[in-house]
Amino acid sequence: MRTRNMVKFFGAVIIILAAFITFIYPLANSIKQGLDLQGGTHIVLEAVDTPDAPVTEDSLNRVVTIIERRINEMGLTEPIVQKEGARRVIVELPGEKDPQKAIETIGKTAVLEFKDESGATRITGKDLKTAKEQIDNGKKNVVAIEFTDEGAKKFADLTASNVGHQISILLDGQVLTSPVVNEAITGGKAVITGSKTLEDAKNLAILLRSGALPVKVQVLEVRTIGPSLGQDSKIKSEKAFAIGIVLIMIFLVAIYRVSGLVANVALLVYIMILLAILKYLNATLTLPGIAGIILSMGFAVDANILIFERFKEEVLIGKSLRTSMEAGFRRAFSTILDANVSVMIAAIVLIVMGSGTVKGFAVNLALGIVVSMFTAILVSRSLLTWFINTGLITNPWFYGLNRKLTAESEAKKGGRA
């Protein structure tokens, strides 16, 4: 029995330590980093009312969707696009060094029109099926477009009625090209010329594929965070995280000795599980998110402290270590549950009603609370049970009692015997 528990305890500790040393840095570095950690561009857009397109909640939601689509097609890394209030959209582009290029693509209304010489609009971007940049046989950078079935009919009618005349293709009221129609085009396909570079053609194709913004937007703020500032924030946050862990571990060992060592091992499991969840969820880590993680570590430690204090109380009334441990976990559970549920309610409210960094903080806090419950109730309990059952240390002093209380405890056991 003792040998089996020794194998369980020391085997689990060795596996946990080896896993932590092996995976902690690759796991931490694989998680996406937000704008405040790696630098990039922060853009604030505001939707503006026009006579033809007033700003509504639905139109702002569509603005967010279209901007997300444009950014994703641009290939920018880990973008964040979110509403702020009734009219504003916040766009964060970590790692983006050319904000003007991003603004030109994401901020365009992108209203596409095909007009005949009389100026009546015959076809709009709604009639497009797809658009793709390419280099034609004449080595020109063009955008190849394909119409929907209805759009193809409109385009065939437009070209058939304008043979020998020009039709103009406009984007946001500016003429992109005005080709002369030589014959009716019935295939539902065409090309837009006028792009100076293939990159220009690519950006135009992105705008056409993503569709037009339902309302006009204007740029209110552009802020660039340099990589050096982001790196400085990252280093400081990592240092704060490490210092916090070390201080917590020292405190636990100083006050609870063997129980504290067990709690420290469980804390390593907590860190690995939490980082693995963030990686699995493809979460973006920001400074407020790190703050949420550090705060949740406090709740993880708080749960262990409650358990160990109940454990000491049971030892003081003369119970065995194993019985005291089981009673301590059982008595502390309701208190731990009440405290964590209260914090979880607050975190959920912040997640539902908050936005941006506030929501990131709340999400990490909520995840941390769930993981801390798991490690405190399951990991700490299992490790401490196995260690006590080894019989290697039976003196209550090594589990957090002072010498006077330890003597009293031993006396009570002797009296019962």
pLDDT in tens, 93-127: 887 777 787 787 787 778 888 888 887 877 888 88
> Which residue has better confidence, 176 or 7?
7
| Mean of pLDDT values over 64-92 | 81
Same domain, 199 and 257: no
Same domain, 243 and 351: yes
Q: How far is Cα 142 from Cα 198, in angstroms, rounded to an integer?
A: 8
pLDDT (0 to 100) of residue 13: 93
pLDDT in tens, 251-264: 889 988 898 999 89
Grade residue 19 by pLDDT with cuts at 50, 70 and 90. very high
Q: How far is Cα 190 from Cα 143, in angstroms, rounded to an integer?
A: 8
pLDDT (0 to 100) of residue 405: 60
Looking at residue 292, which CATH number applies to its domain?
A: 1.20.1640.10
| Mean of pLDDT values over 134-148 | 84
Residue 19, domain extent: 2-34+226-416
| CA distance between the termini of the chain | 24
| Beta strand pairing call for 284-285 and 32-33 | parallel
Same domain, 302 and 154: no
Same domain, 309 and 384: yes
Q: Which residues are CB-contacts of 312 (< 8 A; sequence separation ≥ 6)?
A: 324, 328, 396, 399, 400, 401, 405
Q: Is the pLDDT reported for residue 15 higher than 90?
A: yes
Please tell me the total count of domains within the chain.
Answer: 2
Q: What is the pTM of this model?
A: 0.66
Cα–Cα nearest to 157, from 127, 192, 178, 198: 127
Q: Is the pLDDT reported for residue 372 higher than 60?
A: yes
Same domain, 257 and 372: yes
Grade residue 78 by pLDDT with cuts at 50, 70 and 90. low
pLDDT (0 to 100) of residue 230: 62
pLDDT in tens, 193-240: 877 888 888 888 888 887 778 888 888 888 887 766 667 777 887 788
Same domain, 184 and 244: no
Indicate the residue among 188, 212, 236 that finishes a domain: 212
Q: How far is Cα 167 from Cα 169, in angstroms, rounded to an integer?
A: 7
Percent of the chain clearing pLDDT 90 (strictly above): 10
Same domain, 253 and 396: yes
Q: Is the pLDDT reported for residue 165 higher than 80?
A: yes
Same domain, 379 and 243: yes
Indicate the residue among 151, 186, 212 that finishes a domain: 212
